[in-house]
Amino acid sequence: MTKSAFPTLPTFDSVEEERLHRKQRLAASFRLFAKYGFDEGVAGHITARDPERTDHFWVNPFAMHFGQISVSDLLLVNHKGEVVEGERPVNEAAFVIHSQIHAARPDVNAAAHSHSLYGKAWSSLGRLLDPLTQDACSFYDDHALFDDYTGVVLDLEEGKRIAHALDDNKAVILRNHGLLTTGQSVDEAAWWFIAMERCCHAQLLAEAAGTPISIDKDNAELTARQVGSHLGGWLSFQPLYELIVREQPDLLD
Ligand SMILES: [Zn+2]
């Protein structure tokens, strides 16, 4: 039997190569978010830190459907919220929230947020997710609640408060709003978003049907280490990336 190559984290020979890689992963993430139905009008954004100008990030153009975004459509935004590459405007909320998260967390190279259905339904309960399933353990003791809602986030101070609530976790539930996830890679941030949305769905279903049994603390902590690592999040995204590039190769344009 021949041994097949196990996927490993990419390495880069130049910053240009790394930038292109991040942009390709970002465009693919938008296509996947559209496929999963995470779009809601003009809401939602995923950002990737530029590998060279590290206080700049790549983001989707305002009012462009996730399902139509290609690499060449992505905007580069500086720390003042100015578009320095790209033709279209940036969503102000995207800048206000994501700039503060990228500033507060140098380890976070990507962040994802959308108004996905089960995430926003769950967010209205003002509760953290319970470790009800193996998959939910990815978020055990690794997500926070932003327990406030004061309208559309257009104020940098509120972006700072969200970053503060996120603290050193991988995700934060924005009450009455939706989910926000982060990662060391775009792959990881996008995967945690998909996974967290499904955990919200699963917990809503389980609680609607009865009284779910939580995984005990020791096993939830063990499982979190097994499935919730940076590498684990990155790995889970790889089959989705291959699928979406095969289905929609124009995303790389
Ligand atoms: Zn939002």
Q: What is the pLDDT along the chain (253 residues), one digit of tens a residue?
A: 556 678 889 999 999 999 999 999 999 999 999 999 999 999 999 999 999 999 999 999 999 999 999 999 999 999 899 999 999 999 998 999 999 999 999 999 999 999 999 999 999 999 999 999 999 999 999 999 999 998 888 889 999 999 999 999 999 999 999 999 999 999 999 999 999 999 999 999 999 999 999 999 999 999 999 999 999 999 999 999 999 999 999 999 9
**Nearest 5 degrees, angle CA 249-CA 240-CA 172?**
120
pLDDT for position 16: 98
Distance 189 CA to ligand 1 centre (A): 16
Distance 88 CA to ligand 1 centre (A): 19
User: Of 32, 171, 33, nearest to 101 (Cα)?
Assistant: 171
Distance 214 CA to ligand 1 centre (A): 29
Distance 123 CA to ligand 1 centre (A): 12
With beta carbons less than 8 A apart as the criterion, state whether 118 and 196 touch. no
Distance 56 CA to ligand 1 centre (A): 20
Long-range contacts of 207-215 (CB under 8 A, 24+ apart): 212/130, 212/132, 213/132, 214/130, 214/131, 214/132, 215/131, 215/132, 215/133, 215/134, 215/136, 215/137
Distance 120 CA to ligand 1 centre (A): 10
Distance 240 CA to ligand 1 centre (A): 24
Distance 59 CA to ligand 1 centre (A): 14
pTM of the model: 0.96
Q: Give the ranges where the chain is alpha helix by DSSP (H).
A: 15-35, 92-104, 117-123, 156-166, 186-209, 217-227, 230-247
Distance 178 CA to ligand 1 centre (A): 7
Is the Cα torsion angle 162, 64, 21, 58 positive or negative in sign? negative
Distance 38 CA to ligand 1 centre (A): 11
Distance 16 CA to ligand 1 centre (A): 31
What does the alpha-carbon distance between residue 87 and residue 228 come to, in Å, rounded to a whole number? 37
